[in-house]
Structure 1
Amino acid sequence: MKKIKELKSYKREGFYLMIYLILTASYKLFNTPREMVYDLTIGIDRLIPFTKEFIVFYYIWYLFLAVTIIGLFLKDRESYFRYLKGLSLGLIGAYLTYTFFQSTVPRPEVIGNDIFAIMVRQIYAIDNPYNCFPSIHVFATVYGCLVISKSYFNSNKLFKITMYITGILIILSTLFVKQHVILDAVGGSALAYLAYVLYYKREGERVRIWIKKLFSSLTMKKKLEI
């Protein structure tokens, strides 16, 4: 009986996590080529060498997400909610962008049968090169670091610095393994800042209040019509 009550008390936490996981699973629906696909490569991207060893940090992104979500769940429930809400809204924003403005990144030929080459080929095989701008890898990483800076973990210097350094390496990995270009990273960072403003700034609070009022008025209007 006690365990059932504990599970019920986590209903809200589970709801937001489920929404995020459903949106994450929807990624493949948008990862197919459309009529117009743009290449956002600029000069500086051509100077960045393909470095297959960075694929390790690209994979570490999944661990970064898990550590951030679990850590916030255990130590700072309010930040947990803000992180998942921000991630979900960011994914929706990214998917809308992919639908109307799809970009691609030219991929190099991966030579060799070492572990790093195999890992790169595996990512290339499961992730088509179309959902590029904005970078979800960069968005979730930057937003995670911003949330951590405002959470319980802000006072834990070791954890915070470790996550920041890991975050920087993850962002660099997206460029060095040619999954993204500079503009993709800029777009992902901008999306992260918008999510941060929405959930941590006064201006964002005003926007959320306005959205809630609009939703309430529309709901009330529909009820009256019925």
Structure 2
Amino acid sequence: MKFTDKSKLKQIISRYRHGVILVYFFFYMIWFTYLERSVTRFTPVYSKLDNYIPFMEIFVIPYLLWFAYIFVTVAYFFFTSKRDFYKCCAFLFIGMTICLTIYTLWPNGHYLRVDIDAIGRDNILLRIVRLLYTVDTSTNVCPSIHVYNSIGAMIAIRKNERLRRIKWLQISAFILTVLICMSTVFLKQHSILDVFGAIILSLIMYAAVYIPAWSRRSKEADHELSNI
């Protein structure tokens, strides 16, 4: 019985050993937290377009859905496709590292946040935004990781052979991604320039990660997963 249990354990470890790359999140959080606490002087990121974007607390809903969106997307590919898992993580992790490097070499931030107490209304969404403002500084913003990762999740869902056939899912992923991108500016968490920066970085990383050569090489990983 014990031998069987050990065999099953080894089989599970072998099946999901690709998850070791998720250790990256620990390094990311240490680096990002350090920047959040240490950056006090920064270059303001601002565009005149920011003046035409109103503050709307309703967008805190898609803003927070970002966490579930990224987690569910990565988890799905972790359990179903090594090829798409590797590609999705490569897109997210390399891009996030580039963002952190930019924040480190070019500390940036903004002065766009509104005074919640001066708005003249009170509701649960405003209270959540007030809490968000207290736990997340207005530094380390360009490019926006919120926007970049949302685009990355949408691309991963779109490129998966199984999911691309589910039209309602594709439409939902697109709408959620757009709403998350909008939420960053309507909550005054980011400048519109941060969004543009994330889009440009996404285009670069798409060309680097989602290429035929990578796809051919990584198909073997999926066969390995399906044959265990």
TM-score, shorter chain, exceeding 0.5: yes
Q: For the Cα contact (< 8 Å) 2:66–2:146, is it kept in 1?
A: yes
Equivalent-residue separation in structure 2 for 1:40 and 1:184 (angstroms) = 8
> Quick check: 185-194 or 57-66, which moved more?
185-194
Q: For the Cα contact (< 8 Å) 1:135–1:188, is it kept in 2?
A: yes
Q: In structure 2, which of residues 70, 77, 85 is the aligned counterpart of residue 72 of structure 1?
A: 77
Q: How does 1:17-166 map to 2 (within 5 A)?
A: 17-32=22-37, 34=39, 36-106=41-111, 107-111=113-117, 112-151=121-160, 152-166=162-176
Q: CA RMSD in A?
A: 1.9
In the superposition, relative to structure 1, how do residues 14 and 7 fare at CA in structure 2: closer, same or farther (>3 Å)?
same
Equivalent-residue separation in structure 2 for 1:101 and 1:10 (angstroms) = 41
Q: Which amino acid aligns with 2:20?
A: F
Equivalent-residue separation in structure 2 for 1:3 and 1:195 (angstroms) = 38
Q: Which amino acid aligns with 2:197?
A: G
Q: How does 1:5-20 map to 2 (within 5 A)?
A: 5-20=10-25
Q: For the Cα contact (< 8 Å) 1:32–1:130, is it kept in 2?
A: no
TM-score by length of 2: 0.82
> Quick check: 12-21 or 26-35, which moved more?
26-35
Q: Which amino acid aligns with 1:150?
A: K
Unaligned runs of 5+ in 2: 215-228
Q: How does 1:201-220 map to 2 (within 5 A)?
A: 201=211
Stretches of 4+ aligned residues off by more than 3 angstroms: 32-36
Structure with more contact order per residue of length (Cα contacts < 8 Å, sep ≥ 6): 2
**Pairwise CA distance, 1:54:** 0.6
Instruction: Give the equivalent residue in structure 1 for 2:194.
Output: 184
Q: How many residues align?
A: 204
In the superposition, relative to structure 1, how do residues 99 and 147 fare at CA in structure 2: closer, same or farther (>3 Å)?
same
